[in-house]
Amino acid sequence: MLTKLNKPYILLLIGLLLGVLLGTSFFSGGSGSSESTPEAAAAADVEYTCSMHPQIRQQGPGLCPICGMELIPMETEGAGMDPNRIRMSATAIQLADIRTTRVESSQGATSWAVDGKIYPDERRVYAQTAHVAGRIEALGVDFTGAFVRKGEVIAHIYAPELVTAQREIIEAKKVMNQQPELYQAAINRLKNWKFTSAQIDQVLQSNQAIESFPILSDITGFVSHKHIRVGDHVQEGQQLYEIQDLKRVWALFDLYEDQLSQAAVGDTIAFEVAALKGQEFKGVIRYLDPVLGMESRAIKARVEIDNPNNQLKPEMFVRGTLQAASETQESSLSIPKSAVLWTGKRSVVYVKEQDEEGIYFHLREVEIGADFGSTYEILSGIETDEEVAYHGAFSIDAAAQLAGKNSMMQNTSSMEPHEHTVEKVEIAVVKTPLKGSVRDQFDQLLLSYLSLKDALTQDDFEASIQYAKDFHALGEQFLAEESDEPLQEHKDYLKEVIMHLHHSADMEALREQFLGVSDLMIAMLRSYGVGTNQAYIQFCPMANNNSGAFWISVDEEIKNPYFGASMLMCGSVEETIAAE
């Protein structure tokens, strides 16, 4: 009985054992050997890396210990490959979120972003003055910003001369038939003092002088300044109020030195204001200032805008796009700023190429022309219809370094493959001791940079823009100091990075400018060293549209200036520069 009960279980156990034996035989290729196949051995030797953190390398697949992304196999290429080309698989491109855009040529038209502010039309700003000396008895408009209409009573004045003139006309009326010239002269005198015909009739009918005389507004608009109080004694011609007619306003935009050759009167600017999201305003440039601002290094481009509903208010910040057009302008190429990797005076991009063997990215050196806000004009290095990587270019460059290829940080055709270490973009790093006032000025410049960095980590735009202005002023002093030749290249680049830094309209624009400042300061720090405290070069792979960005800190703790509170601790220490 027990044998019958256990028989099904015995048969099941036998079946399972047979299945295991058959499976082992099948997967081992029919031999009983426990050795792996050549293909399996080769797969085990494949080195894997992270598309976002290429310094991570390990044998076999897995997850990145920094960001948790799935590791991807490193690409292998033949020894004869072009050192400026890096092959990437479709999977690696997708994981690194590499995006490309086609280079286009524009004939006779170029556009770029411009920032500005709303101002009253200077031709519609009026001074309301006293037409006679006297004492202010009452105010009809007693605060700035009040809206007044033409003919509205805005104040009352007691003027002895007016009282005397009114009494004279009352007397002149009595001899009007005998001396009509005297009567008419008295009337004209009152009219010169802004008496209306109705007020003159009131005096003649009542035979009484108006002692507290009403002052009527000469214009319809908003009171921008109030210069009087009750009881003030005023003189003839003294300004009582300033009144602005805002039915038409000016939008004044900053155009910098490198943009002046591209803009002209008649070009169109379309713009928006933060308070009226989704509503676009458009106008043409009516006037360009002839003088460059001493501090801003910019001129004002004036656009005149109708403002019937008073939507646009003075002091509003505006951001627009200038569409420049010229019959004589030659065709030009432009690409997004994020496509350009800076290495001091050398600028490079990655151009996408494809053949039957796969997808490649080719390192190209380009010559940069005008700055059009979100794009750069390209004078040479790429051609129309080629594709450049505008998102994830830093990931491509990191992959090139891993493969021992040329990159933005190194440019030699005889490089051997090497272990990857993330480095700062090199900008003329030449060990040069600084002495005396030059050393002091550089130390002040570094302290100003660190203050700006700290303000960015705290998302404090007001403080950040003030520190940006301080950095600009210190940079100008540093540029004025006489120096040796090795320092000159840094000065040339410093002149570029401080040009627009303190004119940033918002935190996003300021952080974008901070990228170039950090590139330069890191190169200078490596060249000249740091004074009393050691400094840390820190890096965030997510900044700069996932292209990565560096910054300097004197604290080892990560506080990210490119994201602030939203990703404050994103980043890592990549290098330590010891104090001298």
Fold of the 110-121+246-325 domain: Elongation Factor Tu (Ef-tu); domain 3 (2.40.30)
- Quote the pLDDT of residue 231: 93
Are the beta carbons of 571 and 538 closer than 8 angstroms?
yes
Torsion angle defined by CA atoms of residues 529, 535, 536 and 542, in that order, rounded to the nearest 10 degrees: -90
Digit-coded pLDDT (tens) for 187-242: 888 888 878 888 888 888 888 888 888 889 989 999 999 999 999 999 988 999 99
Give the pair of three-digit tokens for residue 372: 């059009």
Q: What is the pLDDT of residue 233?
A: 94
Range 85-107+331-402: architecture per CATH: Beta Barrel (2.40)
In this prediction, residue 25 carries a pLDDT of 41
CA gap 372, 362 in Å, rounded: 25
What does pTM read for this prediction? 0.47
- Spatial separation of the C-alpha atoms in residues 251 and 315, rounded to whole Å: 10
Domain residue spans in the chain? 2-73, 85-107+331-402, 110-121+246-325, 123-244, 436-577
3-state secondary structure (DSSP) of residue 296: coil
The amino acid occupying position 180 is P
Distance, CA of 84 to CA of 405 (rounded, Å): 6
- Burial (CB count <10 Å: 0-12, 13-18, 19+), residue 526: buried
- The CATH architecture assigned to 123-244 reads Beta Barrel (2.40)
Lookup: tokens for 100: 């490309």
Residue ranges of the chain with pLDDT lower than 50?
1-5, 9-14, 16-43, 78-80, 327-328, 413-430
Residue 60 · residue 48 · CB < 8 Å? yes
| CB-CB neighbours of 31 under 10 Å | 8
- pLDDT at position 328: 42
Structure tokens at 71: 């590791």
Place of tokens 């910019």: 298
Q: Are 114 and 256 in contact (CB under 8 A)?
A: no
Question: How far apart are alpha carbons 299 and 317 in whole angstroms?
Answer: 17
Distance CA(131)–CA(336), nearest Å, equals 60
pLDDT for position 33: 38
What CA–CA distances, in Å, run from 70 to 50, 52, 85, 228? 7, 10, 25, 73
Contact indicator for 282, 270 with CB cutoff of 8 Å? yes
| Cβ-count burial 194-225 (b if 16+ within 10 Å, e if not) | bbeeebbeebbeeeebbeebbbbbbbebbbbe
The tokens for 351 are: 């151009």
Output the six-digit token pair for 33.
């050997």
* Total residues found in the chain within this entry: 580
